[in-house]
């Protein structure tokens, strides 16, 4: 694949923001609405999807198809569509649908762009509090109620002084849960339920670690791009690539990543 030109970069940024704007309209139309219902996608469990998930992805796909028809698209709700450019938009219209239907403002719209090697650019939007995080092409930025600025992850500190986040206390399998709690027991503070917003708190220098398991590529592609552009590190639990999902370790810096990895890598 040939390098991305400055003109393509400008068009990619414009497309990502236009798609996020469209998804913001759809998701806010239904958020905290008393008649919002949810279908369950998981037999034997609960994996909700709403009209807002589907509508937001449709809106984003329409914009990408119009502005960047040469690119492929992979979305959580409507799967894969082919492209010719070597670039793929990876969409999660509402990451944290459980939070969305509960009225919490920790869900987000995830828009990632990848090439054959991994993430190129990411945008994470929290429509209700109007915070938008972007990362790629050499910079990471936030635009929100407190203004605009650059994102930067935390400097190194001892593990006993760190804050760790995960969405679910059980994390994943029983073995994965034990490994997570072994790590968390050595940190200062553990918090749960942040969904994609937890990754953005890491990118913004508020926390040190986010550890999860059982993710899909559309869960991590955009957050990974933002965190890496802000100076952080995102790998799997053995230090390998994480952009396809699975077990994810996101760390603010190389030092804390190495300490956490030393514990998590022994999980079978």
- Residue pair 264/237 in contact (Cβ under 8 Å)? The answer is yes
State the alpha helices, DSSP H only, in 121-240: 174-184, 196-203, 217-229
Q: What is the pLDDT of residue 199?
A: 98
| Mutual angle of helices 196-203 and 217-229, in 10-degree steps | 10
CA proximity to 77, closest of 110, 122, 35: 110
Q: What is the pLDDT of residue 255?
A: 98
Q: What is the pLDDT of residue 204?
A: 98
Give how far the C-alpha of residue 149 lies from the chain's centroid of Cα atoms, to the nearest Å: 19
SS3 39: strand
Per-residue pLDDT tens listing for the chain (268 residues): 778 999 999 999 999 999 999 999 999 999 999 989 898 887 677 889 999 999 999 999 999 999 999 999 999 999 999 999 999 999 999 999 999 999 999 999 999 999 999 999 999 999 999 999 999 999 999 999 999 999 999 999 999 999 999 999 999 999 999 999 999 999 999 999 999 999 999 999 999 999 999 999 999 999 999 999 999 999 999 999 999 999 999 999 999 999 999 999 999 9
Question: Which residue ranges form the domains of the chain, and what is each CATH number?
Answer: 6-150 (3.30.540.10), 159-264 (3.40.190.80)
CA distances to 16, 129, 254, 258 from 42, in Å: 30, 30, 37, 35
| Residue showing tokens 């569509």 | 81
Entry pTM: 0.97
Please tell me the distance from the alpha carbon of residue 202 to that of residue 196, in angstroms, as a whole number. 10
């Amino acid at each position: 694949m040939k390098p991305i030109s400055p003109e393509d970069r400008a068009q990619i940024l414009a497309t990502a923001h236009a798609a996020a704007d469209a998804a913001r309209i759809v998701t806010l139309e239904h958020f905290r609405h008393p008649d919002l219902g949810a279908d369950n996608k998981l037999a034997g469990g609960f994996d909700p999807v709403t009209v807002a998930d589907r509508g937001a992805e449709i809106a984003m796909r329409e914009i990408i198809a119009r502005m960047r028809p040469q690119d492929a698209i992979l979305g959580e709700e409507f799967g894969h569509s082919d492209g010719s450019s070597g670039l793929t938009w990876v969409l999660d219209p509402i990451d944290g649908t459980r939070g969305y239907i509960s009225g919490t403002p920790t869900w987000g719209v995830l828009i990632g762009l990848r090439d054959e090697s991994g993430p190129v650019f990411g945008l994470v939007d929290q429509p209700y509090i109007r915070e938008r995080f972007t990362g790629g092409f050499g910079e990471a930025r936030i635009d929100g109620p407190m203004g605009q600025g650059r994102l930067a992850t935390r400097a190194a500190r001892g593990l006993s002084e760190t804050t760790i986040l995960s969405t679910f206390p059980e994390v994943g399998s029983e073995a994965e849960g034990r490994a997570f709690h072994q790590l968390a027991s050595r940190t200062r503070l553990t918090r749960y339920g942040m969904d994609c917003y937890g990754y953005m708190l890491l990118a913004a220098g508020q926390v040190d670690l986010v550890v999860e398991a059982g993710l899909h590529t559309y869960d991590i592609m955009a957050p990974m791009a933002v965190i890496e552009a802000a100076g952080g590190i995102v790998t799997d639990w053995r230090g390998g690539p994480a952009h396809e999902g699975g077990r994810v370790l996101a760390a603010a810096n190389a030092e804390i990543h190495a300490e956490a990895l030393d514990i998590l890598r022994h999980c079978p």
